[in-house]
Structure 1
Amino acid sequence: NMNKGNYTAVTEFFLMGLSHYPGLLLALYVLCLSMYLVILLGNSMLIIVIILDSRLHNPMYFFLGNLSFLDICYTTSSIPQMLIIVMSERKSISFLGCAMQMVISLGLGSTECILLAVMAFDRYVAICNPLRYTIIMSKRLCAQMASWTWITGFLISLVQTLLALINPFCGNVIDHLSCEILALLKLICGDISLNVLIITIGSFIVLIPPLLLILFSYIFIISTILKINSSEGRKKAFSTCSAHLTVVILFYGSALFMYMKPKSKDTKTSDELIGMSYGVITPMLNPIIYSLRNKEVKGAVQKFLIRSKYFKRM
């Protein structure tokens, strides 16, 4: 352990991610800003359509609305701050700001992992127990599942963040564009084995059981779909799942790639870009995937657009 003199009382952090590439930063700024606007637009529209169209008042769209709301919050917790940092000379964020950003982005990331599993369970009940679907997936159960998803995600995140921030820091320059917990741990003086353990346990809780639940749900779903006699019926059953499956593969693929691969010193830039891909690209694609893969959403969106055009003319 280092002697007491080296500890710095940290009141702010400097986010220096990608600062060696000033040319890349401008391109990144334009890209992130446009993606962020697409995320806000796409997800808000999906939420509005789900609320307004009574045909979409069922568990699948209730959870999809949660997912869209989560994606708006998730990107809002990091992108605007990141855009300010990229363009400012003094790339600093207050200690409290950094703590808030970490709690929120970790909490929402964890919540999304669990929510995707809840959505898989919903598809499983819909396809494997269609006659009992409305009884099993009651409004009350859906509300409970949704709220426990958010609570669990944020509890895990709070524990991880608090344990990271109570440590003394030997510096305050984070080599990342946002307050990312793994980047922050590199600044802690002394022993971080407890932090690494807690983060590993946390990642395990939000990645492995949900993934297994999704996997088993889909094994049952696919075997049920294969038993359907008519090809039309098979196509309809699969189309309600394919959107969810696409989102799962995108989200978990990048998350697992990011956290499970061994850390090496020279892959920092690629790390940051992968981190961004699952922080920005998945939320952007979710509404697109769901609207394209889903006749009901497509119909509702068209109805919504026609209605707003009609109101404009009046």
Structure 2
Amino acid sequence: MEGSNGTFVTEFFLMAFHVFPRFTILLFVVCLVIYITCITGNMIIFLLIQFDVTLHSPMYYFISVFAILEILFVSIIVPKLLDILIAGGNRISFAACFLQLYCAAATGIVECYLLTVMVFDRHLAITNPLRYLVLMSQWRAQLAIFPWVVGLVSAIIPTIFTVTLQFCGPNQIDHFFCDLAPLQNLACSDSYISNLVTSITATFAVLLPFIAIIGFYINIIITVSKIKSAEGKYKAFSTCSSHLIVAGLFFSTGIIVYVGPNGSDYDKFFALIYKVFIPLLNPFIYTLRNTDVKMAFFRTFMGFKVKNIKA
């Protein structure tokens, strides 16, 4: 760790939830169960959509992409957290730390923009139903790729500005994964520019899609309010309800963690909800509230035909 100009950090120590040693085993069990359930649930959703022809529509196509994203999203964070909790594997190399930082930031941005694409899909289906299938057959692939391009490119910028800071002193990260604010707080050099770039990127990555989603939903509400029949209104809103719950949970915690003031003592607890608990809920939200998915599940895994299941 000694260099010609001083001492330089070659590894970090993730402190995770060290202030709660009595709850380490309990937290490990909870996180392990959540991780297994999240992976299994999202994989089931992906397989159902791939193999059941009744789910071969643009809406479910985006849900299948979202399911794979959720698997990646939790797999970047949770395995290392489990290692810390059960084996005390707090050490992480400098390179591995910044790789985790980049991957976590990239998948987070991808999720923000994919949720925006998903509400755009519902917006188009409700406001322009006659041209919906024609337009989506042309744009579906491009719309699915767009969030990945934005996320993978955007995450590079704050990562570069953070990795080029000088880390020559403390190397204990008060978090359960390598995140931007905790790392910037450890830097020996001035991190003002890095903090500024992170704030701008967070605004672009979180607030911009959040505002777009609100705009789409306002237009959806206006369009649905013009439908005369109560059944028609319910059918239109029901196609958006699952997405609205997922987006609401994801953005509310994401804004608190990344757009609010940095360095809060509660950041890692909000991040635990944002990174671990919310991805667990998504498979249940998209299955328990969706009649088509429930019917596909029974057809595929239970081996019998189901004529009707009440939502």
Give the TM-score band, short-chain normalised: over 0.9
TM-superposition CA deviations, 1:178-209 (whole Å, max 9, x none): 11111111111121111111111111111222
Corresponding letter in the other structure for 2:160:
L
Displacement after TM superposition at 1:90 (Å): 5.0
Corresponding letter in the other structure for 1:97:
A
Cα pair distance change 1:90/1:116, threshold 3 Å: closer
Q: 2:16 is paired with a residue of what secondary structure? A: coil
Structure 1: which 5+ runs fail to align? 309-314
1:97-108 to 2 correspondences below 5 Å: 97-108=96-107
Aligned pair partner of 1:150 in 148, 151, 161: 148
Corresponding letter in the other structure for 1:178:
F
1:33-52 to 2 correspondences below 5 Å: 33-52=32-51
Q: 1:14 is paired with a residue of what secondary structure? A: strand
Q: 1:137 is paired with a residue of what secondary structure? A: helix
Measure the CA separation in 2 of the matches of 1:245 and 1:90. 37
Structure 2: which 5+ runs fail to align? 305-311
Displacement after TM superposition at 1:307 (Å): 2.8
- The aligned counterpart of 1:311 is none
Residues matched between the structures, number:
301
- The aligned counterpart of 2:250 is 251
Is contact 2:42-2:67 (8 Å) kept? yes
- The aligned counterpart of 1:224 is 223
Aligned pair partner of 1:307 in 288, 303, 306: 303
Corresponding letter in the other structure for 1:54:
V
Root mean square deviation, CA, Å: 1.7
Cα pair distance change 1:7/1:238, threshold 3 Å: farther
Farther-moved stretch of structure 1 (126-135 vs 253-262): 253-262
- The aligned counterpart of 2:76 is 77
TM-score when scaled to structure 1?
0.91
Counting aligned pairs with the same residue, the percent is 38
Displacement after TM superposition at 1:263 (Å): 4.4
- The aligned counterpart of 1:312 is none
- The aligned counterpart of 2:87 is 88
Specify which structure has the bigger relative contact order, considering alpha-carbon pairs within 8 angstroms and separated by 6 or more residues.
1
Displacement after TM superposition at 1:161 (Å): 1.2
Displacement after TM superposition at 1:7 (Å): 4.8
- The aligned counterpart of 2:269 is 273
Displacement after TM superposition at 1:166 (Å): 1.7
TM-score when scaled to structure 2?
0.92
- The aligned counterpart of 1:131 is 130
Farther-moved stretch of structure 1 (87-96 vs 32-41): 87-96
- The aligned counterpart of 2:308 is none
